[in-house]
Structure 1
Amino acid sequence: MFDKIYKLISNDIGIDLGTSNTLVYLKGHGIVINEPSVVAVNIKTNQILAVGEKAKDMLGRTPGHIKAVRPLVDGVISDFEVTEEMLSYLINKADKMSKKFARPRVLVGVPSGTTNVETRAVYDAARSAGAREVFLVEEPMAAAIGIRLPIKDPVGSMIIDIGGGTTDIAVISLGGIVKSKNLKIAGDKLNNDIITYMRDEFKILIGETTAEMVKIVIGSALPGEYMETEVRGRDL
């Protein structure tokens, strides 16, 4: 009975907690938040000043004692308190998009192969951030369900999930992950390689945002047609 009542007065929220960006899904509304996993912190007072886009916009425009912190490294929590603040901000922002008032149920994706300690840290952070119930799912499984692969069939389906800090590779069959591998090479590393290439080959310094654009516009895992794009940077 109580479950039926809670369904009427609370939200179901899904969170893709990434090293670079975090996406939030609100049931019935779709993806409602896509913001950088960045928190601006006053290192003198340890005060949280901004989260997400607002924190990213503060970079380079604030005094030296205000730093941008990425609370996740290689897909796992490196700063519990900052992660809790970021999750609280995201959950509250998503929750306000509907008229339901009870604390939400939250599903959080975690990289495959995370330890019990790392998984517990995500669970505790989400609970402390205001979730009524917390459910965890391995990211390759969530991706497979999202693209409607036949995960329960007696066949193997391979998922390669390239994030910002980690790449998850998993083979899924009969409703479970048969084999998985987690690599610490992902989108951020590709961005850094593009920045290094531009510096070494053309003596031009570009930022992370520009490198990300180049990767998306002309990057390819397979050889294909010649493509080009124009970028601006600072001469070295």
Structure 2
Amino acid sequence: MALTIGKQEKAKTAAGKNIGIDLGTANILVYVEGEGIITNEPSVIAFDYETNEVIATGQMAANMIGKGHHGIKIVSPLNQGVISDIDATKKLIEISLQKVENINIDISLSTLLLCCPSEVTQLERDAFMALGTKLGVKDIFIEQEVKAGAIGSGLDIFSSNGSMMIDIGGGSTDIGVLSLGDIVVSESNRIAGNYFDNEIMNHMQYVHGLLIGKKTAERIKMEIGSLREKIENPRQTYANGRDVVSGLPRKIMVNENEIRNVLATPFESIATMVLKVLQNTPAELSADIIVNGIYISGGGALIDGVDEFLHKRIGMDFYISRRPLTAVVDGTKLLLKNRGSYFVKPTD
């Protein structure tokens, strides 16, 4: 009887909240008004094949990648910045919200902001809206990641002074020029964190004859990934995998210079995309960007020397966002206050 009363009391205290979600290919970040960022975990969920029950989410599920058996289905519900499995994404968000202690959120009364890449198709945008409907949210709106990332990086996009932002995420790289509260010019492509991992995997296979998994490639990128032209004391790390010829386990050492050469090619494509955006930028905003520089956020901003690499190719000043991994979800805090309207400058 006491348990039932407790449930009734909990139901009475349930309230709608402003919720901002950065649905990244690599990580899901959830901001709840009054609570801050409550979730920052890999966008991975594991199901039981027979019952379809959730076994694990986040880091626990990510640890299972490449190691599961036939009874476990491991799903990454977002692919290249867009939703590929709407039911798994719904489960992931619901479980993320349930993890919060001392708070009872009525999601049907909440306002939900979802962030997506700037160049998504209408079909992909509809998938984000359909997700809100599946969650039972009546008040839902969508904003571009590059806009939220610029706000989260501390840029004043609501002034007439132009700002430029590069968000290098797991599934997509977004570039935008912002002024007067909205995006003036933008570009997006799928050359991002997952692409870098695949390039490292291909390099290991074709150069060293070693098959490695995605998690190993990501670890190598994080430990010794660099874009600096001159590396005086190259770092080293190990790569464990399966020999292509013998099929037996094998371990090799790789160094920073080798990985730099692998990463340089995709970053040349990103530099070309930056040049394209700058060429399409109005002259007055170009003048502002020369003074203010260009900011970089996302996991790609953590690769050593990325600002130096882009500076040498483009000739402008580049700065790393103060919190590159959480810049987008930090920006949702202010966008929830004005619902993304460029007329209203929200106050923190």
Matched, 1:154 2:160: yes
Matched, 1:111 2:117: yes
Higher relative contact order (CA closer than 8 Å, sequence separation 6+): 2
Figure out how many residues of one structure are paired with residues of the other and give that number: 227
Higher strand share: 1
Question: How much has 1:208 moved relative to structure 2?
Answer: 2.3
Residues 151-196 of structure 1 deviation map (CA, whole Å, 9 limit, x = unaligned): 1222332211111111111111121111111101110110111122
CA distance in 1, matches of 2:102, 2:173: 34
Contact 1:91 1:130 in 2 (8 A): no
Return 166-175 or 111-120, whichever deviates more: 111-120
CA distance in 1, matches of 2:162, 2:144: 17
Residues 52-84 of structure 1 deviation map (CA, whole Å, 9 limit, x = unaligned): 223223445543142212222221112222222
Amino acid at match of 1:115: T
Q: Note the 1:95-174 alignment, pairs <5 A.
A: 96-103=100-107, 104-131=110-137, 133-174=139-180
Higher helix share: 2
Residues 118-176 of structure 1 deviation map (CA, whole Å, 9 limit, x = unaligned): 22321231342254632321100000010121212223322111111111111111211
For residues 171 and 221 of structure 1, do their structure 2 counterparts lie closer, same or farther at Cα, with a shift above 3 Å needed?
A: farther
- Identity rate of aligned residues, in percent? 39
Please identify the structure whose Cα radius of gyration is greater: 2
- Give the corresponding residue for 1:4: none
In the superposition, the TM-score normalised over structure 2's length comes to: 0.58
Gaps of 5+ in 2: 1-13, 244-348
- Give the corresponding residue for 1:176: 182
Question: How much has 1:14 moved relative to structure 2?
Answer: 1.8
CA distance in 2, matches of 1:203, 1:113: 37
Amino acid at match of 2:140: V
For residues 97 and 136 of structure 1, do their structure 2 counterparts lie closer, same or farther at Cα, with a shift above 3 Å needed?
A: farther
CA RMSD of superposed structures (Å): 2.5
- Give the corresponding residue for 1:208: 214
For residues 60 and 196 of structure 1, do their structure 2 counterparts lie closer, same or farther at Cα, with a shift above 3 Å needed?
A: closer
Q: Secondary structure at 1:22's aligned position in 2?
A: strand
Contact 2:173 2:189 in 1 (8 A): yes
- Give the corresponding residue for 2:235: 228
CA distance in 1, matches of 2:66, 2:33: 36
For residues 99 and 159 of structure 1, do their structure 2 counterparts lie closer, same or farther at Cα, with a shift above 3 Å needed?
A: same
Return 159-168 or 199-208, whichever deviates more: 199-208
Residues 198-231 of structure 1 deviation map (CA, whole Å, 9 limit, x = unaligned): 3333334433223223222332344243431322
Contact 2:45 2:56 in 1 (8 A): yes
Amino acid at match of 2:141: F
Contact 1:161 1:169 in 2 (8 A): yes
- Give the corresponding residue for 2:77: 71
CA distance in 2, matches of 1:172, 1:122: 23
Amino acid at match of 2:218: E
Return 168-177 or 129-138, whichever deviates more: 129-138
Contact 2:220 2:239 in 1 (8 A): no
- Give the corresponding residue for 1:83: 89
For residues 57 and 210 of structure 1, do their structure 2 counterparts lie closer, same or farther at Cα, with a shift above 3 Å needed?
A: closer
Q: Secondary structure at 1:126's aligned position in 2?
A: helix
Q: Secondary structure at 1:199's aligned position in 2?
A: helix
Gaps of 5+ in 1: 1-7
For residues 157 and 224 of structure 1, do their structure 2 counterparts lie closer, same or farther at Cα, with a shift above 3 Å needed?
A: farther
